[in-house]
A and B are shown apart, each in its own frame.
Chain A
Amino acid sequence: MQLKPLARSLAAALSIVVIAGCSSTGGTQDGDSYGSQDGSTTGSSTSGTGTGSQYGSTSGSGAGQQADSRIPEVRTIYFDYDRDTIKSEYESVVMAHARYLRANPNAQVVLHGHTDERGTREYNMALGERRAGAVERFLNIQGVSSSQMSVVSYGEERPAVNGQDESAYAQNRRVVFNY
């Protein structure tokens, strides 16, 4: 059970190294491209976080350090119904936050866990905490200090959107990075 997310992290890290090689030619535009790519659709979100190359090494490139001085713009990731697994399409988002937090040891993040409205309120509080906790563990594995992170579950109390359909539910099942 422990190995599975780690293996996925490594795979994602490999892809980042490859992409980082390409984006390094972008030079000073790293900061901008970082943001706009992150804001794009999930299909390209892996490339969106490709500005940093420090994963697995302690020395970062100049471009990477510049990007890591900014809080990543994508601060919400979404979950499947009744699950707390970080979906592969969002691992790059979480990794961008990991890089930022590693590069900025004084930065603090509060991970807000949310659920959709179905089910009982206090049980949903627990599910929201599980989601945020999964992100916290992932960040921890990526080398982020526990002292930089805390978790607050809002359960179903603060939906992002109104509605009683799957599309609304999907947007409400989320973890938000709050700096």
Chain B
Amino acid sequence: MHSLSKVWLFCLLLLVSSAASANLTIEITRGSDQALPIGVVPFAGSDGLPEDVAQIVQDDLERSGYFAPLARSAMFEQPSQSDDVQFDTWRSLDVRYLVVGQAEQTDGGFELQFELMDISGQRRMIGETVTVRGDDLRGAAHYISDQIFEEITDIRGAFSTKIAYVTAQGIGDDMQFGLYVADADGRRSEQVLTSDEPIMSPAWSPDGTKLAYVSFETERPAIYIQDVATGQRVQATSFEGINGAPAWSPDGRRIAMSLSKDGQPEIYIMDVGSRSAERITNNNSIDTEPAWAPDGQSLLFTSDRSGGPQLYQYSLGGGEAQRLTFTGNYNARGRYSPDGEQIFLIHRSSNGYQVARQDLSGDRLVVLSESTRDESPSVAPNGTMVIFATQQGGNGVLSAVSADGRSSFRLPSAQGDVRDPAWSPFLN
């Protein structure tokens, strides 16, 4: 339980640090045909509670693309503990797994009990009592989703993570920009920065406590580092020209970035402590959008040294940057999968700009998204999904697709353009 309380602390501090809210709602746009049927029974005692915990868990599991939840209307029994589960009933509904639980209000908050059942194996897989301080039922629900997801898939759940994103409203000289942090399901969004000058490229520090981003508040771009909980911020760069595309090293000590102080954008690595910047690339073309390999030994970046934008990998051990992408004439903004074996990127096809995946062991590129004005892919810390920005009805919206392309969902916003999503690392 220690790790969970850290999440709560994080959320609590977030609440303290900000005011405005711009929640995003989820629309499942594609379900996987390999999704596992699961039933998440409404928790006993949850009537009148501020949140429907079982619904949050069900939505989390469905959004992951790994699960196809049974509709509540099909549940003619609603057990709340494993002893009451009639396996035959659920087997007849083709359910493979079942989640049951109960909720109880306590002095300082709530107590939630949940159990996960394997219906075909007729056994209880896991169960836990979760103590909720304050009103953080959503945080507790995401924690339960994480436990269920990991127990069944052997993949760590990423439901308790956050996303940062940028909003924009207005046009031309009259625009308003916001930087937000929300739960991974788009809810409980908190504004962490607002400006009438552009904000772009938020990037999480590997410990999830800070965001680096680009802000034009001085009427030119500069990279800032902001503590998410306290709101405290410092300007990290003020070079002439582009100060862009910040990316934290896995050890959190360095930030790779694109600086054009030498005449054209080049990749630099800045030491966060000393603020000294070391130049990595050196040529007459655009070099930007760096990303660190998970082992911290190489950088992926976009360069147009071959004529159009393509992805290159540079080993920090030395040597020439190696071109990785050869399909089509526009491949940009690459991001590694957490295991470092794949990259996700924006690929221009005859359909438009789409999220694609490429295995590093080969050069075959697979388009994942069905939308055609995609930007800014960001990979979930467990590698199962990629969140990105796209367009819907002329508005910028966030969308996500599973790493295998089988499932996807969208997070439309009621207000203005939403763009530049950054998926946080694991926070607990």
Q: Interface residues, chain A, CB within 8 Å of chain B?
A: 110, 117-123, 125-127, 129-130, 150-155, 157-164
Asked if B332 CB lies within 8 Å of chain A CBs, one says yes
Among A119, A155, A160, A162, the one with the most B-chain Cβ atoms within 10 Å of its Cβ is: A119
Q: How far is the CA of A136 from the CA of B258 in the complex (A)?
A: 21
Judge whether A159 and B216 touch: CB under 8 Å.
no
> How close is B1's CB to chain A, nearest CB, in angstroms?
40
Are the CB atoms of B258 and A154 closer together than 8 Å?
A: no
Known: A129-B241, A152-B220, A161-B171. A123 touches B200 (CB 8 A): no
Of the residues B171, B175, B260, B373, contact of A129 by C-beta under 8 Å: B260
Asked, given contacts A157-B198, A157-B216, A160-B172, whether A125 binds B353 with beta carbons under 8 Å apart, the answer is no
Q: Closest approach, in angstroms, between the C-beta of A37 and any C-beta of chain B?
A: 25
Taking CB atoms and an 8 Å cut-off, the chain B residues in 183-237 that contact chain A are 198, 200-201, 216, 219-221
Q: Which residue of B lies closest to A118 (CB)?
A: B353
Are A121 and B375 in touch, CB under 8 angstroms?
yes
Given contacts A120-B302, A121-B420, A157-B168, 15 further A-B contacts (CB under 8 A): A118-B353, A121-B333, A121-B375, A121-B419, A122-B333, A123-B289, A125-B258, A126-B260, A126-B265, A126-B286, A126-B288, A155-B200, A159-B171, A161-B171, A161-B172
Q: Are the CB atoms of B242 and A129 closer together than 8 Å?
A: yes
How many Å lie between the Cα of A153 and that of B391 in the bound state?
A: 23
Give 3 closest A-B pairs by Cβ, nearest first.
Answer: A157-B198, A126-B286, A120-B333
- A126 CA to B288 CA, complexed, in Å: 8
Q: What CA separation (Å) do A150 and B218 show in the bound complex?
A: 14
CB nearest to B346 among chain A residues: A120
Taking a contact as CB atoms under 8 Å apart, the answer to whether B330 and A121 are in contact is no
* A121 and B288 alpha carbons, distance in the complex (Å): 10
Q: List 12 A-B contacts (CB under 8 A).
A: A119-B332, A120-B289, A120-B333, A121-B200, A121-B376, A122-B289, A122-B302, A123-B304, A125-B221, A125-B244, A157-B200, A159-B171
Q: A122-B289, A157-B198 are in contact. Are A164 and B216 (CB under 8 A)?
A: no
- A110 vs B289: C-alpha distance in the bound complex, in angstroms? 25
- Chain B residues, CB < 8 A from A155: 200
Cβ-defined partner of B333 (8 Å) among A123, A127, A150, A163: A123
Q: Name which residue of chain A comes closest to B389, CB basis.
A: A121
B242 near A164 with CB under 8 A, answer no
Given A120-B333, A120-B346, A151-B241, is A125 in contact with B172 using a C-beta cutoff of 8 Å? no
Residues of B within 8 A of A120 (CB): 289, 302, 309, 332-333, 346, 353, 375-376
A131 → chain B closest CB, angstroms = 12
Are A119 and B353 within 8 A (Cβ)? yes
Interface of B, secondary structure class, is: strand
Counting chain B residues whose Cβ lies within 8 A of the other chain, the interface size class is 35 or more
For residue B241, which residues in chain A have a CB less than 8 angstroms away from its CB?
129, 151, 153
Task: Please judge, given known A-B contacts A157-B198, A157-B200, A159-B171, whether A123 and B221 are in contact too, CB under 8 Å.
Answer: no
How distant is the Cα of A158 from the Cα of B288 in the complex, in angstroms?
Answer: 20
- Residues on A with C-beta less than 8 A from B201 are 121-122
**B253-282: which have CB < 8 Å to A?**
258, 260, 264-265
Chain A residues positioned under 8 Å from B391 (CB to CB): 164
B171 and A160 contact, CB distance less than 8 A: yes
B240 — which chain A residues lie within 8 A by C-beta? 150
What are the residues of chain B within 8 A of A151 when measuring CB–CB?
241
Chain B residue numbers with a CB within 8 Å of A129 are: 241-242, 260, 264-265
Chain B residues positioned under 8 Å from A152 (CB to CB): 219-221
Q: Could you tell me the distance between the alpha carbons of A163 and B395 in the complex, rounded to whole angstroms?
A: 9
The reply to whether B175 and A158 contact each other, CB–CB distance below 8 Å, is: yes
| Nearest-CB residue, chain B, relative to A152 | B220
Q: Which residues, 371 to 409 on B, are CB-close (under 8 Å) to A? A: 373, 375-376, 391, 394
Q: Which of B216, B244, B373 contacts A122 (CB 8 A)?
A: B244
Render B326-351 as a binary contact track against A, CB cut-off 8 A, 1 for contact: 00001011000000000000101000
Closest A residue to B286 by beta carbon equals A126
A residues less than 8 Å from B244 (CB atoms):
122, 125
How distant is A156 from chain B, measured CB to nearest CB, in Å?
A: 9
B245 at the interface (CB under 8 A from A): yes
CB contacts (< 8 Å) of B288 on chain A: these are: 122-123, 125-126
Q: Determine the chain A residues whose CB is within 8 A of the CB of B216 once the complex forms.
A: 154, 157
In the complex the two chains form, what is the Cα distance from A127 to B288 in whole Å? 11
Closest to B263 in A: A133
B308-333 contacts to A (CB < 8 Å): 309, 330, 332-333
Give the chain B neighbours of A121 by CB distance below 8 A.
Answer: 200-201, 333, 375-376, 419-420
Contacts of B302 in A (CB 8 A): 120, 122-123
CB pair A123–B172 under 8 Å, yes or no, is no
Chain B positions within 8 Å of A110 at CB level: 219
* Chain B residues with CB below 8 A from A126, complex form: 242, 258, 260, 264-265, 286, 288
